[in-house]
Structures are given as C-alpha cells and as structure tokens.
Amino acid sequence: MSVTIKDVAAGAGVGIATVSRVFNGSGPVGAATRERVLAAARELGYRPSAGARSLRGRGGGGVGLVLPDLTDPFAAELAEGVLAAARDLGEHVVIDLSGGDAAREAAIVGRFLERRLEGVVAVPCGESAPWAEAARAAGLVFAERVARGVPGVPGVLADDATGVRHLTEYLAGLGHRRIAYLGAAAPGGEPDVRERAFRAALTRLGLAVPESLLVPARPNRDSAYAAAAGLLQSRDDVTAVLAAGHLLGEAAVLVARELDLRVPADVSIAMVDDVPWAELCDPPLTAVARPARAMGRRACELVLRDPARRGHAPEPLPAELVVRGSCGPPRGARAGR
C-alpha cells in the first residue's frame, strides 16, 4: 500500500539502516549515497511513518489539548498559544472539546493516554479522577483554571485577583458605592478567586460588601442573561456592574440596552476578559485583559520542556486593566426603570 523504508532502500541500492540515517541525520553517510537515497525517496514519494517511528523510540511526542469549547474567544486564543509553542518545538497537537461535560472529558483524556502523548494541556471542567492518571502517565498542565483534588499538577493561571482588584478600585475611584458583581458562586458554593478578590478589594477600600448584589450565575448565555436581567430590572440603586466573564458582560450589555439604560450614564459596565467585541461595543467596554495566548504558550512549553518545573505552580501571568468608555461616575440612584 504505502511506500516504506525498504522500498527506498531497494530503489537506492542501499540498506534500510542507511536510509534511516539519511532521514534522521543520526550517523555518517557518504555524500553520494545520501544523494541517491534522497532521489529514490523523492521519486517514490516516501514519507517516514510517524507511528512506527514512535513505536521504536520513546512515546513519540505530541501534545493533547482539552478545552470546554472553541467558540469562546479566550479559549481560542489560548489554543493558538499552545499550537504556536508546539509548532516551535516540533510537536503536533491533538485537540478535543469537553463541552463542559466531565464524563466526556474523562473519555478524551483516556484516548489521549492511549496515544502516548508526551503531555496534556487542559482547561479542566471535571474533578480529579481522570487527571490523576493522566498526571502519572504523561506530563499534565492545567491552564486558566485547575481541577480540584489533583495535587502536584501545575496550573498556568492569569492573575485574576489583581485584575479584579484593579477593576474594583477603578470603579470605586469613580465614585461607585453600589457595585454589583455578576457571576458569583451559587448560594452555599465556594466563591472563586475573582469573587474573593472583589470582596477583599471592597473591604480594603473600607466599603461594605453588598451581599445582595453578588449575583450568582453560571458562565453560559442563558444563566448570564437571566442573572443580568434579574439584577438590572429589580435593583435601581446599582450604579456599576462588574461582570466576572465575557459572557456575563455580554448579557449585561444586552440587558442594559433592552432596558434603555445608557452606558455609562445610567450604569457603568466592566468585565473580566477582553474579547474582540469589547472594542466594537458602543461604548467600548472596559475590561480586564488576560494574556490568553501567552498562557497557552507557557502551558505548552511547561509540559514539553520543563518536566523539572512541573510540580511547582508557576507565577500567575499579569492581567491588565484596559480602560475604555463604558464606565463613568455614578449618577445617583436611578428613578424607576
């Protein structure tokens, strides 16, 4: 069927070992011989089989990438970073999407392990079980967030805490006192890094933490929209909304428009995650930019080239506050809706 190293060897009148040496540059080969081998290979259209090659040597390399989805611009950019790093290091990338489903995620990781990949980069959604095995069998690095209950696996994270703190301080500095936080943990759930940073920032500023303005929402369009609508319809006293993710920010923008609220005159809006549309919005949205591409790149390099450093969580990468036009001074409590 396909043309093998033997065919090339026969075509060039040499042994298979010589052909292998030509293609890997591993041993000494006479110039004339090399030319003949190359010519025969070109003529026959020979391509060494990556499968057989990996069978003999080590695992064969390659990186697995597991993400919830690709339509999220942050995830897409993170993937681009991983792909760029892998390309630079000469490795290929196998990708699959969990869709936020832990079972599917576990299945994906299983397939990756069978492929004997050198490393796996994951934005996890599930819990520890499959990750523990992956960490044992291959390199594993989390990106954006980490799975709980899997010690010793490094995570390449953005410094969300500092980003949210800066954003909170910025809003407070504009004079806002009734700042809603969109994307809090469900009642009874454990608040995440961003929510804790929001609370801490308010406290440090000497402001009360308005528990009723911490609106729970899951990061999907339906939940985000419902949360934003519930908030802006019922709470006239809110003068600023801090959305904990771009889907939540999107929902806030849409709801504000539907309620004929002017941004930022009636309500200021800002969010975590600087996605392309933030600049296209009217007014353009103030946001915390997280370095998605750099995170992907770093995660990939970590998993491929730094087996020693694995186990030590690397520094979070800085998140930058990008001030645009969607935040202004508060206008006092709105009258009615």
Partner DNA sequence: CGGATGCGTGGAAACGTTTCCAGAAGGAGG
Partner DNA sequence: CCTCCTTCTGGAAACGTTTCCACGCATCCG
Binding at 20: pick from a second copy, DNA, none (beta carbon under 5-8 Å per type): DNA
8 Å CB contact between 145 and 87: no
Q: Does 136 bind DNA (CB under 7 A)?
A: no
Q: Does 137 bind a second copy (CB under 8 A)?
A: yes
Mapping DSSP to helix (H, G, I), strand (E, B) and coil, where does residue 165 land?
Answer: helix
Q: Which of residues 33-52 bind a second copy (CB under 8 A)?
A: 45, 47-52
| Cis before 219? omega within 30 | no
Binding at 30: pick from DNA, a second copy, none (beta carbon under 5-8 Å per type): DNA
Task: Single out the segment in contact with DNA by CB under 7 A; choices: 49-57, 60-68, 151-159, 222-230.
Answer: 49-57
Residue from 21, 176, 293, 298 in contact with DNA (CB under 7 A): 21
- 94 exposed, middle or buried (CB, 10 Å; 0-12, 13-18, 19+)? middle
Binding at 83: pick from a second copy, DNA, none (beta carbon under 5-8 Å per type): a second copy
Q: Does 94 bind a second copy (CB under 8 A)?
A: yes
Residue from 39, 55, 103, 333 in contact with a second copy (CB under 8 A): 55
Residue from 28, 114, 260, 332 in contact with a second copy (CB under 8 A): 114
Tell me the C-alpha distance between 337 and 332, whole Å: 14
- Closer residue to a second copy, CB minimum distance, 168 or 268: 268
Q: What's the angle, vertex CA 319, arms to CA 120 and CA 220, rounded to 5?
A: 65
- Distance of CA 136 to CAs 14, 72, 81, 133, 139, Å? 43, 30, 25, 5, 8
Euclidean distance between the first and final Cα of the chain, in Å?
A: 73
Q: Does 48 bind DNA (CB under 7 A)?
A: yes
Strand partners, 184: 216
Closest distance of CB 160 from a second copy, Å: 21
**Based on C-alpha coordinates, what's the Rg of the chain?**
26
**Structural tokens at position 313:** 């969580």
By CB under 8 A, how many residues form the interface with a second copy? 48
What does the binding site for a second copy look like in residue numbers (CB under 8 A)?
2, 45, 47-52, 54-55, 59-60, 69-71, 73, 76-77, 79-80, 83-84, 87, 92-97, 110-111, 113-116, 133, 136-137, 250, 253-254, 257, 276-277, 279-282
